[in-house]
Chain A
Amino acid sequence: GAGVSQSPSNKVTEKGKDVELRCDPISGHTALYWYRQRLGQGLEFLIYFQGNSAPDKSGLPSDRFSAERTGESVSTLTIQRTQQEDSAVYLCASSFIPNSNQPQHFGDGTRLSIL
C-alpha cells in the first residue's frame, strides 16, 4: 500500500507480558517516528529514526521500552513487562527526510490495552 501501515491494529494483553508493535513506513521515507496517546492526553513523542539510527530516543518512558529499525524500512517498538499505564494508542509516522519542515504521514495506530 501507499501509506504507513501498523500492526496489530488492536492488542489486549495481561500485565507483565511483552508486546511488539510493528510499523511499515512509506517506501523511500528515511525518517520514522513513534508517538503514543494515553487517554485524555496529547500525542507524546517516543523516538525517531534517521535511517536505521535513532538520534533522539528521549521520549522513551523507561528501559522497558525499546525500538529498532532495519533495512531503513520496518520498525518494531517493544514493550517488556507491560504495565497498565502503558495502555495507549501507539502511532507511527514517516517523512521523506528527518527534517521538521516536512509533513509527517501517520499510520492508523495500534490500540494497546493492558489488563
Chain B
Amino acid sequence: ILNVEQSPQSLHVQEGDSTNFTCSFPSSNFYALHWYRWETAKSPEALFVMTLNGDEKKKGRISATLNTKEGYSYLYIKGSQPEDSATYLCAFSNAGGTSYGKLTFGQGTILTVHP
C-alpha cells in the first residue's frame, strides 16, 4: 500500500499572506507527482505534473518543488487571494506494471483565505 501524506490538513490565512504545504510520498520507484486544486462544487484541476528530482514548476502565484530522494514536494502560494481557497491534492505514481496510469492521492490540504 502506497502512503501519500499531506500536511497540514487545513490552513486559514489572511489575504496577502504567503503559504506553503507539504506532500510526502515513498521515495522508491518514483515516477510522477501531481498537484491538483479542487474548489467546492467544481472538478479537480491539474496544477503541476512533476517527474524529475529538483523540478520546480510555477503557474502565476503558485509554485511547487520536488525532492524524489527524500520523498517530498512543497506547494507555495504567494500573496494568497480568496479565490485560492480550495482543497489542494497531491498524487503519486510509482513506475511500471499494470498500474502505469494509476495515481495514489493524499487526503488534501484545505486552504481558506480570509479577505
Q: Which residues of A contact B (CB under 8 A)?
A: 3-4, 31, 33, 35, 41-45, 48, 50, 55-56, 58, 91, 93, 95, 98-109
A-contacting residues of B (Cβ < 8 Å)? 4, 31-32, 34, 36, 42-46, 49, 51, 89, 91, 93, 98-108
Q: Is the Cβ of B49 less than 8 Å from the Cβ of A101?
A: yes
Q: Choose among A93, A95, A100, A102 the residue with the greatest number of B CB atoms under 10 Å from its CB.
A: A100
Q: How far is the CA of A4 from the CA of B46 in the complex (A)?
A: 13
User: B102 near A48 (CB under 8 angstroms)?
Assistant: yes
Report whether B31 and A100 are in contact in the complex, using a CB–CB cutoff of 8 Å: yes
Q: How far is the CA of A104 from the CA of B99 in the complex (A)?
A: 15
State the CA gap A35–B43 with chains docked (Å). Answer: 12
Across the interface, which residues of A come within 8 angstroms of B31, CB to CB? 100-101
Q: Which of A41, A58, A91, A106 has the most CB of B within 10 A?
A: A106
Q: Which residues of B contact A35 (CB under 8 A)?
A: 105
Q: Is the pair B108, A42 in contact by a Cβ cutoff of 8 Å?
A: yes
Give A74 Cβ to nearest chain B Cβ, in Å. Answer: 18
